[in-house]
Amino acid sequence: MWARVGCKFLRQNVSKNLNLGSRFYSATSSSVVRPKLPQSSRKGRLLTGATISLLIGGGAYASTVDEATFCGWLFSATKVVNPFFALLDPEVAHRLAVTAASRGWVPREKRPDPSILGLEVWGRRFSNPIGLSAGFDKNAEAVDGLLGIGFGFVEVGSVTPVPQDGNPKPRIFRLKSEGAIINRCGFNSEGIVAVAKRLGAQHGKRKLDETSNASSSSSDEIKHGGKAGPGILGVNLGKNKTSEDPDADYVQGVHTLSQYADYLVINVSSPNTPGLRQLQGRKQLKDLVKKVQAARDEMQWGEEGPPPLLVKIAPDLSKQDLEDIAAVALALRLDGLIISNTTISRPDSVSKDPLASESGGLSGKPLFDLSTDILKETYTLTKGRVPLIGCGGISSGADAYKKIRAGASLVQLYTAFAYGGPALIPQIKAELAECLEKDGFKSIYEAVGADCR
């Protein structure tokens, strides 16, 4: 994250900073008497110094070449910085990552996405189908920075009506060797009022920027994005832990936040809020969706109409549960389903890990097969009529491609991003484009549900 800041500064005044650095080193080395350090400390300082030198040297070189090369170098540089996050407590690392993205201390993608990755869903133009799932930016603090990394869309939340702290800490556990995470956060949220203020301020700033830049943009240019500017913004709604009327919580979320969203998500699948998954039952889900749709449709909307409404479901569902959900989605013309949330199961690949006994939802690589099977079955049950977002265990372009072939129009990741950092995003997009071209597909549309036909 520091690479982008440092390199931007270097581009402006490389020689000046090198001279200043030389004078500082001379002054400190001659005038300060330091105690003799242990061998391990000296090695640590040497390693840190070497890392910083490589970043500065690489940045100085890359800043002299074209913008695309410089942009690529910035993303590559994050591979050096990202491992340091793994040394921190998971929740501290998460907080630091959100702060970095919110302040622009992350690389910004300047290179255009491969044209083969562009698509339109719900009347919204996506420059690529790779999204960041809810759970990372719970309170909409870093939307612009995250979209700037190169995601096609970002989903914030889950947002609850009333602020709540969530479950006691520690509540996030890394299973590094399996590329997995167990969390039992429990909808920790600043609440819809705080999130609405933040999104409202961001929305106003974007509108002002769009107005000031309107004269310089081409009128026939293809526009990608929505209310978040360069990309699509989803808002994920949750209920409070102590709420006695869950339906009212989701309705309140719609009334307060839908004006800022390109799509809305009803989250009824987190395993960390008591009773939440019971809302996936046929009658409960049907009643809930009807109320939320009514709340959305009674609001005043412009030419673009109301935001699409999606439901996020769990991977731990029986075939009958899936049939019920598919029936509700088709009967009520639901705009989409996200498949899936985290799992309460512990696949064989993680069962022997000492942390596997921790309660909470499992995400990451061990979830991939389970969530993809559920995705494929849901695509078949809905007959391809309901747009699906594939989520769970994606860590490469090949994984994203498998989700698309299983029926997903869009895909989301989180855990792999936590481990791999910003450099993972351009890598996944390049790999996905290669997979499509290798199999002779000319667009994402042609590949959706290919394994179900």
Cα distances (angstroms) measured from residue 390 to each of 89, 280, 288, 399: 29, 18, 23, 10
Quote the CA–CA distance of 183 and 181 in Å, as a whole number.
Answer: 6
**pTM (whole model) above 0.75:** yes
pLDDT, position 311: 97
Axis crossing angle, helix 424-438 with helix 397-405, rounded to the nearest 10:
50
Of the listed 270, 340, 363, 371, which one is catalytic? 270
Quote the CA–CA distance of 65 and 7 in Å, as a whole number.
Answer: 13
List b or e across 81-110, with b for residues whose CB sees 16 or more CB atoms inside 10 angstroms.
bbeebeeeebeebbeebbebbbebbbbbbe
Segment 229-240, tens digit of pLDDT:
678 999 999 999
- Contact indicator for 173, 418 with CB cutoff of 8 Å: no
Amino acid sitting at position 236? N
Flag residues of the chain having pLDDT under 50. Answer: 1-35, 37-38, 40-41, 43-44, 47-50, 52-53, 55-56, 218-223
pLDDT, position 208: 76
Residue 270 known to be catalytic: yes
Q: Is 271 helix (H, G, I), strand (E, B) or coil?
A: coil
Decide the pairing of beta strands 263-267 and 309-313: parallel
pLDDT, position 215: 54
Task: Write phi, then psi, for 13 (nearest 5 degrees).
Answer: -155, 65
Look up residue 349 and give its two tokens.
Answer: 């690949």
In 3D space, the residue among 385, 360, 389, 357 whose CA is nearest the CA of residue 372 turns out to be: 389
In 3D space, the residue among 160, 298, 289, 307 whose CA is nearest the CA of residue 237 turns out to be: 160
Quote the CA–CA distance of 131 and 414 in Å, as a whole number.
Answer: 9
Residues 6+ apart with CB under 8 A from 128: 113, 114, 117, 118, 150, 151, 152, 429
pLDDT, position 432: 98
Sign, CA torsion 306/445/366/374 = positive
Quote the CA–CA distance of 451 and 324 in Å, as a whole number.
Answer: 23
pLDDT, position 399: 98
Identify the H or E element spanning 312. strand 309-313
Task: Give all strands (DSSP E) within 320-437, no chain letters.
Answer: 336-339, 361-364, 388-391, 410-413
